[in-house]
């Protein structure tokens, strides 16, 4: 019965947040835009490490930006690539006067970005991942959102470019949903990440608050928290969709999420008191984010407990009959008791309460997801509905597994590496180092 009560509470919380999201989206107006009379100078920094497959597409999309080229500079920072990235970038440098290519020793994305920011001349600095594609009108639309001096960063919507397999198709729906969440967080001034693909920063922000933290595993989240800690605002240009590459295997996705989630834990711990000036972010959005990490873990643990219990009882049964399984097989096959439609009907009806609530909740989530987020980039089709259904049923499990793996790493992990980044900030390492 305790399980039941926890599921009831979780369902209610889910409903509450879903409606809250809908009302924020519908009732809170979008922050206003300004008309740009004189285009400011912009420096786009493209840190690149072994991106020979993608960098041409990225640079082509930047070249095609609808923006006065005399106000634009594109700085490609090759971060010690060992493939053909540098040569490809050099070809662009030869062709376009506003593209400049620099080569440095490998030091990680943040160090490449900082290298670029130091030499950049623009009043606005754009970070651009070298595996992303930007639409031509992105820069003009995004700059119009710098409507007051306290807006330090403007971020775009992000979507996966041409998802190919199950892992990418699930992420496609996840990214669409995250774009909706960004639109919601924008309305309550609570965006807490400035993602790599095409975030725009005011130059003064770096002058006042410093450059990217090169030791941080999620420098894009750290810089966003730092902006809030210094009283700045982050805005979201929801109609600008930047396409990016995404992990295509479960293993690579797990590694990416480990970095993101560890980064979330560490940056939140670091900034939780410093962001108090933003009451909604510190008192509502952050506790809610933590709640939605814990709830799936609790629910999955309860489910796992039930599954383990039923497996244990099955094991007890077979053990008590000395694993004499042949008669069991013959009996089940001869009586065809593997599937009973009436039992299915009973279990659907008797479990109908959950199905109804989950059905309604899912419908509402789809409503937001499909009618708001996807329309930005495309027409909603049955294809999207299908993948949204797959996403809803699989994602909670995948998400919980990733979080459990992250928590385990945070407690007991010794060392994790992502390219040039090394992470050793676990509890066990701290205890060992204390001794």
Partner 1 sequence: MLSIIFATLTFLLGISIGNELSKKAMENVFYQYENIKTQIDSAMLSLQANLSSCDLENLNLLGEDLDRLGSYIDYLEKTDNIFKDETQIQLLKSNYFNLEFMHYLLANKIRSNCKYNYTIILFFYDDEKKCSSCRDQGYQLIHLKKRHPYEIYIYSFDIGYDLYFIKYWKRSFSIEKAPVIVIYPPDGSKIILKQFEGWQTLEKYINEHSTIHETS
**Residues making contact with partner 1 (CB under 8 A):** 1, 3-4, 8, 11-12, 15-16, 18-20, 22-23, 316-317, 320-321, 324, 326-328, 330-331, 334-335, 340, 342-343, 345-354, 356-357, 360-361
Closer by beta carbon to partner 1, 16 or else 280: 16
Listed residue (300, 329, 148) closest to 231, CA to CA: 148
Going by C-beta distance under 8 Å and a sequence separation of 6 or more, which residues neighbour residue 307? Answer: none
CB of 62 to partner 1, least distance (A): 41
CB of 317 to partner 1, least distance (A): 5
Give me the residues paired with residue 76 across strands. Answer: 46, 101
- Evaluate whether 193 touches 157 at the Cβ level (below 8 Å): no
Give the alpha-carbon dihedral of 429, 432, 434, 435, to 10 degrees: -170
Listed residue (62, 74, 67, 65) closest to 36, CA to CA: 67
Q: What is the phi-psi region of residue 161: left when phi exceeds 0, alpha when psi lies from -120 to 50, beta otherwise?
A: beta
Task: Please give the Cα distance from 48 to 128 (Å, whole number).
Answer: 9
Closer by beta carbon to partner 1, 350 or else 435: 350
CB of 386 to partner 1, least distance (A): 25
Helix, strand, coil percentages (3-state) for the chain, rounded to 5, are 60, 15, 30
Listed residue (116, 126, 114, 118) closest to 72, CA to CA: 126
- Give me the DSSP letters along 22-73: HHHHHHSPPPP----SSPPPEEEEEEESS-TTTHHHHHHHHHT-SS-GGGEE
CB of 323 to partner 1, least distance (A): 11
Closer by beta carbon to partner 1, 11 or else 256: 11
CB of 7 to partner 1, least distance (A): 9
User: In three state form, how does the secondary structure of 308-366 look?
Assistant: HHHHHHHHHHHHHCCCCCHHHHHHHHHHCCCCCHHHHHHHHHHCHHHHHHHHHHHHHHH
Task: Please give the Cα distance from 294 to 404 (Å, whole number).
Answer: 10
CB of 359 to partner 1, least distance (A): 9
Closer by beta carbon to partner 1, 363 or else 386: 363
CB of 15 to partner 1, least distance (A): 4
CB of 373 to partner 1, least distance (A): 20
- Evaluate whether 133 touches 116 at the Cβ level (below 8 Å): no
Closer by beta carbon to partner 1, 26 or else 397: 26
Closer by beta carbon to partner 1, 204 or else 328: 328
CB of 26 to partner 1, least distance (A): 10
Q: What is the phi-psi region of residue 316: left when phi exceeds 0, alpha when psi lies from -120 to 50, beta otherwise?
A: alpha
């Amino acid at each position: 019965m305790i399980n039941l009560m926890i599921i009831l509470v979780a369902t209610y919380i889910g409903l509450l947040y879903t409606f809250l999201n809908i009302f924020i989206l519908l009732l809170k107006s979008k922050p206003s835009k300004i008309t740009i009379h004189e285009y400011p100078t912009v420096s786009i920094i493209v840190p690149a490490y072994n991106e020979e497959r993608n960098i041409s597409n990225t640079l082509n999309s930047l070249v095609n930006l609808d923006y006065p080229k005399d106000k634009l500079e594109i700085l490609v920072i090759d971060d010690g690539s060992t493939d053909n990235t540098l040569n490809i970038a050099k070809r662009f440098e030869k062709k376009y006067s506003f593209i400049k290519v620099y080569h440095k020793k490998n030091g990680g994305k943040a160090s490449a970005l900082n290298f670029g920011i130091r030499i950049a001349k623009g009043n606005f600095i754009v970070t651009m991942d070298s595996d992303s594609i930007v639409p031509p009108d992105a820069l003009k639309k995004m700059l119009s959102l710098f409507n007051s001096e306290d807006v330090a960063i403007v971020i775009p919507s992000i979507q996966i470019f041409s998802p190919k397999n199950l892992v990418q198709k699930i992420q496609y729906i996840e990214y669409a949903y995250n774009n909706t969440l960004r639109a919601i967080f924008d309305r309550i001034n609570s965006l807490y990440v400035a993602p790599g693909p095409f975030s725009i920063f005011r130059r003064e922000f770096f002058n006042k608050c410093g450059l990217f933290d090169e030791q941080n595993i999620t420098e894009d989240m750290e810089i966003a928290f730092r902006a809030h800690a210094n009283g700045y605002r982050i805005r979201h240009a929801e109609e600008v969709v930047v396409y990016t590459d995404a992990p295509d295997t479960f293993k690579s996705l797990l590694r990416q999420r480990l970095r993101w989630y560890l980064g979330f834990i560490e940056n939140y711990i670091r900034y939780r008191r410093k962001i108090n000036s933003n009451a909604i972010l510190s008192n509502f959005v952050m506790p809610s984010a933590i709640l939605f990490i814990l709830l799936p873990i609790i629910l999955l643990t309860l489910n796992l407990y039930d599954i383990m219990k039923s497996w244990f009882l099955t094991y007890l049964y077979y053990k008590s009959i000395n694993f004499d399984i042949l008669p069991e097989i013959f009996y089940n096959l001869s009586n065809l008791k593997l599937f009973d439609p009436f039992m299915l009907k009973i279990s659907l009806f008797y479990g109908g309460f959950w199905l109804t609530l989950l059905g309604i909740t899912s419908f509402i989530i789809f409503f937001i997801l499909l009618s708001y987020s996807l329309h930005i980039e495309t027409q909603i089709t049955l294809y999207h509905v299908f993948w949204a259904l797959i996403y809803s049923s699989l994602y909670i499990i995948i998400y919980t597994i990733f979080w459990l793996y992250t928590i385990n790493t945070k407690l007991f992990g010794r060392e994790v590496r992502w390219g040039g980044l090394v992470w050793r900030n676990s509890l066990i390492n701290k205890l060992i180092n204390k001794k």
